[in-house]
Chain A
């Protein structure tokens, strides 16, 4: 167990170093100059040189990367003219574009993305598992076929299409809802939820299709296993056979699916945010990439990597708790 956590921590560190190095590498290899974007079109060579120096772009990429790592671990000092600002560890640096600390930029956006995904996770897990369960128990009947149509449709519809269609129906045609505007949960919980209904639904359609399919296959597979036959042969009521023994076997693997699917979820959340104009992490990624805002992109990569590893670790621990045969090492 301790060994497992140490191993995970080790691989996390390696992963983060590799990922951020790749980001620096990519940006270094590309001829685009962030200073030009910062400085604007009318900049002459001298002005550009000043900006270069200010952003640290006049240093070799390895030095830049080293400073970045240093900032992460011990913090670093930024000198802009006479003043020196200290950026405490973990320091992700300052945005080229806005001069704001990257960490606070991310922290500012995080609640939006969390609101979106947390609500949607609950929705799609419930929808997916129950539809999958019904589908498996009514195998090959009409209900099963209808659910299968939903699964195929859900899997085949990208979020930006389903989101637009939802907008058309609920904002345009029926006029039940306004175009979503993000309202923080702390400000007004009702407005928060109301504005997030459409984004949640958008994510849920796709993700619950995935979950429905997994639950259905898992359920059918478990139902055909030997120990299910045992309990039937011993006269256990069918609802106990299904509800206690089959369901447990079918749902346990879903724990790790949520973690494996994490990347997919992040991408779809990003698209959903962009579609609905929600000021979350996804929007920040698109903006900072377009602006060649290296510190922000590196910081976001780091955050995403951390989240992926964290999600996988939690899933592993949960799995081991649920299935005693699993030995973490």
Chain B
């Protein structure tokens, strides 16, 4: 117990790391929420509309009703589209076919072309999705009023996150990352600090069991990560309006399992390296980067090449983020996260066995 108290002292005395630990989650939420926003607003568009009829005008208007698009330019020919892109004035061009209204009425066949700047594929795909949704919505309206004959339109409907609020996507990601950062990085740094300063040696000579030394190191970080978990959930829920659709209980269960996995990762790192610097670098490159890039937090796993997907499968955060999405956003219950939960439990067991074994070997 005396030792656990000491660990809390270390953290509370160190004002900088204390500040980092408590402010980091808030900072990351803000950063991902506002600065790295993947929602696209006020995209500038240009229109080439040779038919200039009732329907095409209405469509262009529809696009501008929400804040998604601003009509910046009206083009005189389709070939001007390229110039508009190159000058950087617009990020999407809408080209209507000739005699749009007539074709729609009689042939039931009219064409709209959406041109987007593929050099920024993320934005391009997001704004074309928006535009398609708006345009097909309008088409539906026309059909209902009986102005145009029946027409099969592909309907794209986004489930669970209909307005594509980015917060739904990144909040689980930030949770996965913050917990990893605090548990794995801080634990490994604090254990290696004892090695660096020579205090670990003194502790090993003492009658205190090595296992207790390690456990008491993990305790404060365990509590800190619970505080952070609460902070993230409160901000996400009340400020960013991300719902907690599913059971809070299972959310906590899976989080506790994940925290345990992260703590053992931290322990493992500290048995491999001897300096704080090395622990920091391994945590940053070996843990943070893969989580950012390959856990599905920023880029969808389905789009990754097979071998990258294999790597992503062994990243604990990938399973945690997945499970959190299922519980928080989709509101699914325990049966939906059995796979994720059991994978995380399995990883935790394997990691703790490896690190305890390594820890013992070091003592020989």
Whether A associates with B in a native complex is no
Spell out B's residues near A (CB within 8 Å): none
Spell out A's residues near B (CB within 8 Å): none
